[in-house]
Amino acid sequence: MIASVLAQKYNVLKTEGNLNNEIGLPLTIFKIREEHQVAVLEMGISEFGEMDRLSTMANPDICVITNIGLCHLENLITRDGILKAKTEIFEHLNGTGTVILNGEDDKLSMVENVNGKAPVFYGKSEKNQCGKENRIYATGIQNLGLDGMKAVFHFPECMREVEIPIPGEHNVLNALAGACVGMELGLDVEQICAGIKKAQTIGGRTNLIHANDMLIIDDCYNANPVSMRASIDVLTQAKGRMIAVLGDMGELGADEKRLHYEVGAYAASRGLDALFCCGELSKELAKGAEEHSETMEIFYFATKEELLLHLKSYLKKGDTILVKASHFMEFPDIVRSLQASVQ
């Protein structure tokens, strides 16, 4: 979303695929050429000190943190640990660099001055959870189903109705983040709105694949309890049968079974038609769904091969299928197999 906005004015290099770690980040940096005016670098972490090492390489002028969720708890233990690890980047901002934060996040909204400069906040109201002003905020949010979202963005000088072509209310917040970066780098409101409207998904991240009168929601780049719920919410916008294919979420620490169980219970509460689960921890996911739904069909399989065999025979025209799990589960195999079987 940020790269799409900035591309309305600048020649932008952005992180491709999953090149966001200590191997991928330098590979992206090495691609910067003289013609590039802006680099949008994604940095992913799973342990303390990792952001410190990544941001030493990047030395960012602008830092955007979108949320403090429930991921990598195995090493970071709590959300406060995640906050501490992510904010290691603050020590490596260039000069008077700008920090842009999601004001809807209870942890991020408490951040005070960074290197003597107040953060820029964005959110869904005029002020964030701690009473600080959001520079840009959204009201009148409309859910357009799988066609995306629409909202009124309140900029410092004006308001504009903005079309967001990617489904899910969380993408309204991502669009606001892009708008804040755009303002920081001198784009006008029209350029920002145009960039948001042109935003596209990439493989594994709410990527909508139409295949023989069925729709696959490929969201299997990675998963944690927060993103699982968001993806399930997107699935509920489907017009036909809603089928979730979910796998294990990694690095959740001591509470991993409970967190999987809760995602299963949430899936049951959202009225899905069927749930297909695979992976050792997903036994708890299936259990949570079974204990909270009397109508949803629930299937658990020990292997992806077994799951695919039964899933393919279960599907019919008009179905929408969400595929999501942590990266190590290799669920892109399921997406590719489904595409091949229905074309």
Q: Bridge partners of 168?
A: none
DSSP 109: G
Kindly give the pairing relationship between strand 297-301 and strand 242-247: unpaired
Residue 127 pLDDT greater than 80, yes or no: yes
**CB of 132 closer than 8 Å to CB of 109:** yes
Q: Tally the C-alpha atoms within 13 A of residue 191's C-alpha that lie toward its C-beta.
A: 17
Closest CA to 315 of 234, 243, 252, 227: 243
Q: Bridge partners of 277?
A: 246, 300
Secondary-structure percent of the chain, ordered helix, strand, coil, rounded to 5:
40, 20, 40
Q: Where are the beta strands (DSSP E) in 178-293?
A: 207-211, 214-218, 242-247, 274-278
Q: Bridge partners of 161?
A: 152
What is the mean predicted confidence (pLDDT) over 284-306?
Answer: 95
Kindly give the pairing relationship between strand 136-143 and strand 149-154: antiparallel
- What is the helix (H) or strand (E) element at residue 298, kind and residue range? strand 297-301
Question: What's residue 343's pLDDT?
Answer: 58
Q: How confident is the model at residue 36 (pLDDT cuts 50, 70, 90)?
A: very high
Task: Kindly report, residue by residue over 219-263, the tens digit of the pLDDT.
Answer: 988 899 999 999 999 999 998 999 999 999 998 988 999 999 999
Residue 171 pLDDT greater than 70, yes or no: yes
Residue 274 pLDDT greater than 80, yes or no: yes
In order of their start, the domains of the chain are 2-197 (3.40.1190.10), 207-342 (3.90.190.20)
| Euclidean distance between CA atoms 333 and 67, whole angstroms | 29
| Euclidean distance between CA atoms 339 and 67, whole angstroms | 32
Q: What is the mean pLDDT of the chain?
A: 94
Q: How confident is the model at residue 341 (pLDDT cuts 50, 70, 90)?
A: confident
Structure tokens at 328: 């190590």
What is the mean predicted confidence (pLDDT) over 278-290?
Answer: 96
Task: Kindly report, residue by residue over 44-103, the tens digit of the pLDDT.
Answer: 898 999 999 999 999 999 999 999 988 888 888 899 999 999 999 999 998 889 999 999
Please report where in the chains the tokens 């669920």 appear, as a residue. Answer: 331
| Euclidean distance between CA atoms 204 and 221, whole angstroms | 4
**CB of 135 closer than 8 Å to CB of 101:** no
Task: Kindly report, residue by residue over 189-207, the tens digit of the pLDDT.
Answer: 999 999 999 998 877 788 9
Question: What's residue 75's pLDDT?
Answer: 84
Residue 342 pLDDT greater than 70, yes or no: no
Question: What's residue 287's pLDDT?
Answer: 97
Work out the percent of the chain whose per-residue pLDDT is above 90.
82
Residue 336 pLDDT greater than 70, yes or no: yes
| Euclidean distance between CA atoms 249 and 262, whole angstroms | 12
**CB of 331 closer than 8 Å to CB of 245:** yes
